[in-house]
Structure 1
Amino acid sequence: MAATQKDLSDSSGIWSLRRLPTMEEAQFRQWQVLLEQRTGMTIAPERQSFLETNLGIRMREIGCNSYQAYYEKIVSGPEAIVEWATLVDRLTVQETRFFRDPDAFRLVSDYILTRPREALKKRPLEVWSVGCSTGEEPYTLAMLLNESMTQLELPPLFGVTGSDISKPAIDKGQRGFFSARKLMGVDDELKARYFRPAERNTVEIVESIRQRVCFTRLNVMDLKRAPMHGMNIIFCQNLLIYFRRWRRREIVKQLADRLAPGGLLVLGQGELTDWQPPGLQRVPSENVLAWMRRQTDED
């Protein structure tokens, strides 16, 4: 038995139990460049350990024992496209939950409740959750819209689109099943109205809300190709923090161009400072970073 254990410890696969070496500066730089070129995401030097950890986990899973070998697999290997999608998912999917930012969602509700009733009857509200991760945010927006339309005694004329660069994330969102802990802090009445118990301590979004939400894979570096136009609400939180300041402004400008006149753009606090997006007017709020697109004369 002892000999067998020794043989195992000397086998080629046991490297997966060892700590990977620290990434050399040149290697870290090439990963920085690759990630920024393809996704716009920047990895600051102080987050090198974050990159090493996530690369290391994936490398152990597939039996790759050097950062350089994995880099070459990502760039030019036979399964480069699939492997790149897996890695992006590991690096970008963040912890989220329903009704994560109460102040921002309250602002959205107030915005809907103060729209002209005739406009709400005439045209469905179009809402876009940018960087939606696993779907908690777009589903929350759909619940808010449904609550607001019910309060206004209007039919639920609205649709929500969630977009994210991670295919595994949006696939999970489409399924509509979530861990019960994702509902921490959600009002009991809302839980009862919009969720149903499912297997293994999970909950399921009710069908009436799932039908109002669709998901699409989208890299914000490719916003020019996005088919979304005339959006009434664009919600983009906890995404811009990954980008350089100049790129944040570029992204926000493109999002603003996709707002309908009078449309609302909501960002995360501190994600954009000392800049006024052209054509937008800041919404007065101490706790929420938001703008409205100015109305034209004919509107």
Structure 2
Amino acid sequence: MSFFSSQSLSLRKSAPLTDKEFDDLSTYIYELAGIEIPKQRKYLLENRLRSRLGELKLNSFSDYYKYLKFGPNKQKEVEIFCEKMTTNETSFFRDAKQLGVFRMAVLAPMLQKLKQSGKKQIHIWSAGCSSGEEPYTLSIMLHEMLKMSIMGWRIRITANDISSAMIAKAKKGLYSEHSLRNTSKDIINRYFTKEPGGYLVHPKIKKNIVFEKINLNDTAALKKIPKSQIVFCRNVIIYFDPPMKKKVINSFYDNLVPQGYLVLGHSESLHSITNIFQPMRKPGGIMYQKMD
């Protein structure tokens, strides 16, 4: 999940966003989702929300702020607001080099150890899953590694995002060629069906995944996620301020079993946030392990 596309939206003539309105709206989304909108991004927030003012026939951002907090469809509007503030640019097998490191240094040894112990079950949490490409990629990876023996495993991938629209798209599992731009033809042929609207994920890949809407700022909701051996949270925490980053990372730490792994985006780091994880540095990526 990533935030703030530079693509301009069609603008409606209305009063410009004032500093007070920006403060009100940015504070509200921070309290709601932990997303920090720096002052220099004011124009992006204005561009993103102006089209919504037109749809609601509102004349100012103050009117929208009141509608957002006190309107008759508050819950629905909060979802729309979060969707307006997020850009979900992703793809299958995104950051292939990092995934290769993860496969060889983390996933393969873990599967071997679980097999030897007789506990053939694994839970992976994809936090901030956007439109589903990441958890489906992880499911495909498990199928590729375990082959037919996967039938003897209990596998669950919990996939969460703050956007209801993204969760609905992920559940549908229908993707364009652009989403599959980093995917080999062999993988596409094995795990997708060509449909008039795109490529549909095979049911055997879907059945291991549970998609649910979640807000990473909701500590109580995060505590309900089943204990995980691996947590993926790529390209999300970079948009949080330091207190929110620490809060979310602590939730991941609490969720992970001992010796479990946290995987962040290739440009993200826990440096200066926390030292509760042990970094595993490999050419092409860093993984973080819970040592206790």
Could you tell me the TM-score, scaled by structure 1's length?
Answer: 0.86
Identical counterparts, % of pairs: 27
The superposition leaves residues 236-264 of structure 1 with CA deviations (integer Å, 9 ceiling, x where unpaired) of 01111221022212211210111112211
Instruction: Report 1:209-288 matches (<5 A).
Output: 209-226=205-222, 227-275=224-272, 277-288=274-285
Alpha-carbon separation, structure 1, partners of 2:133 and 2:151: 25
Alpha-carbon separation, structure 1, partners of 2:276 and 2:22: 39
Kept in 1: contact 2:280–2:287 (CA 8 A): yes
- Match status 1:52 vs 2:46: yes
Alpha-carbon separation, structure 2, partners of 1:87 and 1:39: 11
Kept in 1: contact 2:92–2:133 (CA 8 A): yes
- Name the structure 2 match of 1:102: 96
Which of these residues, 19, 24, 27, is aligned with residue 33 of structure 1?
Answer: 27
Kept in 1: contact 2:214–2:221 (CA 8 A): no
Give aligned pairs, total: 279
The 3 A distance-change label for structure 1 pair 141 and 83 is: same
Kept in 2: contact 1:224–1:254 (CA 8 A): no
Kept in 1: contact 2:15–2:59 (CA 8 A): no
Q: Max radius of gyration: which structure?
A: 1
The superposition leaves residues 127-181 of structure 1 with CA deviations (integer Å, 9 ceiling, x where unpaired) of 0100011111111111111112229888453221100111111011011111121
The offset of 1:103, in angstroms, is 2.3
Deviates more, 1:23-32 or 1:263-272: 263-272
- Match status 1:115 vs 2:110: yes
The offset of 1:91, in angstroms, is 1.1
The offset of 1:100, in angstroms, is 1.0
Give unpaired runs (5+ residues) of structure 2.
1-9
Kept in 2: contact 1:160–1:214 (CA 8 A): yes
Kept in 1: contact 2:11–2:50 (CA 8 A): no
- Name the structure 1 match of 2:124: 127
- Match status 1:76 vs 2:73: no
Alpha-carbon separation, structure 2, partners of 1:241 and 1:64: 33
Matched residue of 1:283: which SS? strand
Matched residue of 2:261: which SS? strand
Which of these residues, 29, 37, 43, is aligned with residue 43 of structure 1?
Answer: 37
The offset of 1:116, in angstroms, is 5.9
Alpha-carbon separation, structure 2, partners of 1:32 and 1:137: 28
Alpha-carbon separation, structure 1, partners of 2:241 and 2:113: 41
Kept in 2: contact 1:196–1:206 (CA 8 A): yes
The 3 A distance-change label for structure 1 pair 151 and 248 is: farther
Alpha-carbon separation, structure 1, partners of 2:26 and 2:140: 38
The 3 A distance-change label for structure 1 pair 280 and 151 is: farther
Kept in 2: contact 1:98–1:186 (CA 8 A): yes
- Match status 1:19 vs 2:2: no
The offset of 1:285, in angstroms, is 2.2
Alpha-carbon separation, structure 2, partners of 1:92 and 1:270: 19
Could you tell me the TM-score, scaled by structure 2's length?
Answer: 0.88
Higher relative contact order (CA 8 A, sep 6+): 2
Alpha-carbon separation, structure 2, partners of 1:35 and 1:271: 22
- Name the structure 2 match of 1:179: 176
Give unpaired runs (5+ residues) of structure 1.
1-15
- Name the structure 1 match of 2:5: none
